Amino acid sequence: NKGNYEHYMQKEIHEQPESLKTTMRGRLIRGGSCKAKTVLLGGLKDHLKTIRRSRRIVFIGCGTSYNAALAARPILEELSGVPVTMEIASDLLDRQGPIYREDTAVFVSQSGETADTLLALEYALENGALCVGITNTVGSAIARHTHCGIHINAGCEIGVASTKAYTSQIVVMAMLALAIGGDTISNQARREAIIDGLFDLPNNVREVLKLDQEMKDLAKLLVAEQSLLVFGRGYNYATALEGALKVKEVALMHSEGILAGEMKHGPLALVDENLPIVVIATRDACFSKQQSVIQQLHARKGRLIVMCSKGDANAVGPGGSCRVIEVPQVEDCLQPVVNIIPLQLLAYHLTVLRGFNVDQPRNLAKSVTTQ
Ligand code: M6R
């Protein structure tokens, strides 16, 4: 049921304040003054020790699920101290890449039925790794065949383009990072800030959804473009990849997510006064590096659309030199949840304006059950 919305994708984008709440419900504990803030993940509690002791954590997924894991990677590395590597399921299978008994392999999948991810799971089980599932579908093949796991609880997602599952996956993996990372004195303030940030996230998402009309106006400006680049780094490298994936998948426009640190190693050659470029430059430890990326793109007359933290328009586009999208600033590791939303809205409006099928993009299936 689409309710008052015209498309499922639109409904699912706007549902995110609620879907995020459902994902966190009963899992975040913020007790009274003497009670520590903590995370409870029932499906993992018997395996946390093994995960903490593993030699590495390997994230495995496809498409948007892979991007969600990429967004969560830095916080998992920071809080757990365990090396985290990334695998696209098909590539792991193509290479028959090494997976060891001492590994924890985390399988991320909205449907829980994606063929490549499922085959990678079989492969990791054969190699003796501890296998953890993060899926949105209770009773799905991945949920059944993993040793333990966490349900995303984002509610049924119908649009082929994954939106609310993406943000809930990031939140689940941030909670996973909190659960694996021990409660030490040295990281207590950081943990509390993240837990507070998680509690505030639905409201911040509600806030950023108010950019709907602004993103519709931007879509009008970009509707006839051939291509759109998205530059991100750090926590928001994943946002760049995921924003570009949304634009190409539903709006059928070429779009590429680029790691900003790679700019000078090739992509800079594409920059001219015509090609639109979204640069994600919200406040975090990478901010000054992104400021210099903006200056360099600017010097080459790049057509910039900069996503920045509220109040930073002048810090990123001196003298109103570029179009800005201002978003609420949240805890750095949760910023990808907020930052993807304007790009989801942009992809949605571009699709409607270009007259393409929003919920069933040509040639694509919601769940890719064949290789
Ligand atoms: O169900 P899964 O999360 O395993 O699906 C993985 C990809 O097929 C999926 O995320 C795909 O990239 C989406 N259609 C992107 O919006």
| Secondary structure (H, E, C), 37-97 | EEECCHHHCCCHHHHHHCCEEEEEECHHHHHHHHHHHHHHHHHHCCCEEEEEHHHHHHHCC
Listed residue (326, 64, 336, 317) closest to 215, CA to CA: 326
For the CA of 67, the closest atom of ligand 1 is 10
Q: Give tens-digit pLDDT for 274-289.
A: 999 999 999 999 999 9
Q: Give tens-digit pLDDT for 82-103.
A: 999 999 999 999 999 999 999 9
Indicate if ligand 1 lies below 6 Å from the C-beta of 351. Answer: no
- 340 phi and psi angles, rounded to 5 deg: -75, -20
360 SS3 class = coil
Residue nearest to atom 11 of ligand 1 (CA): 63
pLDDT the model gives residue 32: 67
Indicate if ligand 1 lies below 6 Å from the C-beta of 114. Answer: yes
Which structure tokens are listed for 45?
A: 């509690």
Indicate if ligand 1 lies below 6 Å from the C-beta of 67. Answer: no
d(CA 241, CA 238): 5
Let me know: does 110 contact 169? Beta carbons within 8 Å. yes
pLDDT the model gives residue 33: 61
Indicate if ligand 1 lies below 6 Å from the C-beta of 105. Answer: no
In angstroms, what is the span from residue 289 Cα to ligand 1's centroid?
A: 31
Pocket test for ligand 1, best of 60, 64, 145, 239 (most atoms within 8 A of CB): 64
Indicate if ligand 1 lies below 6 Å from the C-beta of 169. Answer: no
Residue nearest to atom 16 of ligand 1 (CA): 161
In angstroms, what is the span from residue 295 Cα to ligand 1's centroid?
A: 35
Q: Give tens-digit pLDDT for 215-249.
A: 999 999 999 999 999 999 999 999 999 999 999 99
Contacts of residue 282, defined as CB under 8 A and 6 or more positions apart, other chains included, come to 236, 307, 308, 309, 312, 327, 329, 335, 338, 339
Mean pLDDT of 306-322: 88
Indicate if ligand 1 lies below 6 Å from the C-beta of 65. Answer: yes
Handedness of CA 48, 116, 77, 129 (dihedral sign): positive
DSSP one-letter code for 15: T
For the CA of 64, the closest atom of ligand 1 is 10
ipTM, two decimals: 0.98
pLDDT the model gives residue 35: 64
Burial class of residue 306 (count of CB atoms within 10 Å of its CB; 0-12, 13-18, 19+): buried
34 pLDDT exceeds 60? no
Indicate if ligand 1 lies below 6 Å from the C-beta of 117. Answer: yes
